Amino acid sequence: MTRDRPPLTRWLPILEWGRHYQAADFTGDLTAGLIVASLLIPQAMAYALLAGLPPQVGLYASIAPLFIYAIFGTGRALSVAPAALDSMLVAAGIGAIAAKDSPDYLSLAITLALLVGGLQIVMGLLRLGVLVNFISGSVITGFTSGAAVIIALGQLKHLLGLKIPSASVILPLLRDTIQALPQTQAITMALGGGAIALLWLGNQPFSRWLQKRGVRAIAQIPLVKSVPLLIVILSTVLVATLRLDQQGVAIVGSIPQGLPPLTFPTLSLDRIQTLLPLALTLSFIGFMESFAVAKSLASQRRQSVEANQELVAIGLANIGSAVTGGYSIAGGLSRSVVNFSAGAQTGVASMITAGVIVLTVLFLTPLFFYLPQASLAAIIFMAILKLIDLKTLRKLWQYNRADGLAFMVTFFGVLGLGVQAGIFIGAGFAIALYLWRTSRPHIAIVGRLGETEQFRNIQRHQVLTCTEVLAIRIDESLYFANTKVLEESLLQAVADYPKIEKLLLVCSGINAIDGSALATLEQLRLALKSFGVELYFSDVKGPVMDGLERIGFVEAVGRDRFFLSAAQAMQQFDCQLA
């Protein structure tokens, strides 16, 4: 479908949906925009704190990116702004280079957003969007679950009022938290616990209660989803009235009022070199999560998203964030789902959200002075818990050990070595497991199924075979990693059946044969010949046959050695099937 669109609307999807925009769309967009704004205001500040940045940086990152993505993005309901995993990566990565409260820290985060955006645009223009396919689903789930555990644990110190350094790997984090437990501040804990309780009640129980009163699902959303905003307001009022900040409750403090500052990120070769590995990881992960969310939402409405255009759109949004004093952004899962279910039809919803945030930074920031950090931590905590997905692990493990292992390696890699190392180790591990599997191909000795033309495994079916011909089906493409193993198993099979004169390779499972495998096949043919066994082929697929023809293998072996089907070969051999 993408191919038919004129070039301009391919680069500017807003022209596509803008042309068909209707009044009915606006109702949905307006509701969704307002609801997402109420969710995003506390979230943006919370994620900024998670990233080690001042809260207003999160708000700044929630304005320009939303406008930009609305213009360039193909995912209509995607809500692009600060996200949990990415904030965590920023904290771990930049925290390793600069001290958290140093002026350099913010400047590095802004440059990072610029680099991430640049890389994403380049990847999009080079059409590298398909690369995300190489991260297996189990690795993504393992990564998300592991990062969620780290983030959730990291919030404990805010929820309990502990003073410990932030950490991005499990062992120091657990050790520091446990050691500091005796210093728990009762009031902070009460605030944090209260917020968590409210958030929990506001979710399923409140929803069920509303349902019982006959409130329709669509009408529930504004009520249910404004619980975080309610908590922000309630807890701020509570802290301000009782002056709980004087009792040791950590508050957000003063947030500068006014529009996001126009920023020129500092770019030096030195800086780029330092930040590049982090920027690469972040550009990849940020895109991956955004694309997965956008795609899953779009498919529910039969719309389509285009990977490379998404890369460009998110890249531009990141650059937009950097030049307006924000940090790196991505399409968050939970926020986008809210946007979608609250009725967002187009990017107009995101523009409305951004408009509300503009009003917030212009007029409302003084109101956040007494906002306790524990409330923000509670919002992160409850949002992030949902990402710990052990149900998937159980299912994966049951179906396919390899997928389960990849999940666990990623999960424990993230916990033990950090988010960045974890995803690379996990992705590499999943690919290695796949290669490992293909390097040990399954082969089956086959025979004819009754009077049909079908040949199946002699160990699974009652089939007919003959003594002079051994028919073996190879269940894998032949390539360098499995060609030696295969040669050995075939020679072994021939040794096990000393009476055979012909070896028929049934190639229905062979989808490709590379150069190394071709050389091995030639050696195998000669070795078999010296034992008095002739090699035949059947069910060779078109593309494979083309290659064998081209290199002269078919000619060398003899064209009469190739049969269309095993049935045809057996008929030709005229052998007694029994």
Residue 547 contacts a copy of itself per CB under 8 A: yes
CA angle, residues 108, 159, 83, in degrees to nearest 5 = 40
Min CB(437)–a copy of itself separation in Å: 6
Interface with a copy of itself, residue 533, by CB under 8 A: no
> Given the complex with a copy of itself, which of 181 and 512 has the nearer CB atom?
512
d(CA 54, CA 507): 63
Q: Which is nearer to a copy of itself, 9 or 392 (CB)?
A: 392
| Binders of a copy of itself in range 356-395 (CB under 8 A) | 395
Question: Quick one: 223 or 481, whose CB is closer to a copy of itself?
Answer: 481
Provide, rounded to whole angstroms, the least separation between the CB of residue 224 and a copy of itself: 27
Please say which residue, 519 or 577, places its beta carbon nearer to a copy of itself. Answer: 519
Nearer to a copy of itself, 18 or 428 (CB): 428
Which tokens is 72 given? 């360039």
Q: Per rule CB under 8 A, is residue 135 in the interface with a copy of itself?
A: yes
Considering the complex, state which of residue 359 and residue 551 has its C-beta at the smaller distance from a copy of itself: 551
Look up residue 457 and give its two tokens: 């495994």
Per CB under 8 A, does 442 bind a copy of itself? yes
**Burial class of residue 124 (count of CB atoms within 10 Å of its CB; 0-12, 13-18, 19+):** buried
Contact 458, 489 (CB under 8 A): no
Shortest Å, Cβ 556 to a copy of itself? 12
Instruction: Give, in order, the Cα–Cα distances in Å from 375 to each of 35, 188, 214, 242.
Output: 19, 9, 31, 16
Site membership for a copy of itself, residue 476 (CB under 8 A): yes
Shortest Cβ 352–a copy of itself spacing (Å)? 31
Query: What distance lies between CA 110 and its chain's CA centroid?
Result: 24
Q: How many residues does the chain have?
A: 578
Sole binder of a copy of itself in the list 125, 178, 267, 519 (CB under 8 A) = 519
Burial string for 137-166 (b: 16+ CB within 10 Å, else e) reads: ebbbbbbbbbbbbbbbbbbbbbbbbbebeb
CA 517 from chain center: how many Å? 35
β partners of residue 235: none
Scanning 198-206, 239-247, 349-357, 540-548 for contacts with a copy of itself by CB under 8 A, the matching segment is: 540-548
Q: Give the one residue of 400, 464, 472, 534 binding a copy of itself; rule: CB under 8 A.
A: 400
- Of 542, 452, 528, give the one whose Cα is nearest residue 491: 528
Q: CA distances (Å), 140 to each of 123, 392, 429, in order?
A: 20, 11, 12
Maximum CA extent, the chain: 98
List 285, 357, 419, 444, residue binding a copy of itself (CB under 8 A): 444
Question: Which of the ranges 4-12, 32-40, 100-108, 537-545 carries the binding residues for a copy of itself, by CB under 8 A?
Answer: 537-545
> How far apart (Å, rounded) are the C-alpha atoms in residues 59 and 321?
10
* Least separation in angstroms between CB 119 and a copy of itself: 19
Is position 89 an interface residue for a copy of itself (rule: CB under 8 A)?
no
* Distance separating alpha carbons of residues 367 and 364, to the nearest angstrom: 6
Query: Which of the ranges 32-40, 110-118, 410-418, 535-543 carries the binding residues for a copy of itself, by CB under 8 A?
Result: 535-543
Residue 542 in contact with a copy of itself, rule: CB under 8 A: yes
Residue 398 within binding range of a copy of itself, rule CB under 8 A:
yes
122 binds a copy of itself (CB under 8 A): no
Give CA–CA dist 289/284, Å, rounded.
9
What burial class does residue 416 get, using C-beta atoms within 10 Å of its C-beta: 0-12 exposed, 13-18 middle, 19+ buried?
middle
Stretch touching a copy of itself by CB under 8 A, among 39-47, 185-193, 221-229, 451-459: 451-459
Residue 416 as a binder of a copy of itself (CB under 8 A): the answer is no
User: CB-wise, 44 or 569, nearer to a copy of itself?
Assistant: 569
The residues near 267 (Cβ < 8 Å, ≥ 6 apart) are 111, 114
Element (H, E) at 252: none
Which of 160-168, 326-334, 351-359, 446-454 is the region at the interface with a copy of itself (rule: CB under 8 A)? 446-454
> Do the beta carbons of residue 51 and residue 82 sit within 8 Å?
yes
CA of 155: how far to CAs of 46, 242, 250, 379, 405, in Å?
10, 24, 13, 10, 28
| 551 lines the binding site for a copy of itself (CB under 8 A) | yes
Nearer to a copy of itself, 163 or 440 (CB): 440
- Chain residues that interact with a copy of itself, rule: CB under 8 A: 130, 133-138, 299, 395-396, 398-400, 402-403, 430-431, 434-435, 437-439, 441-442, 444, 449, 452-454, 456-457, 460, 475-477, 479-485, 508-509, 511-512, 514-516, 518-519, 523, 527, 539, 541-543, 547, 550-551, 564-565, 567
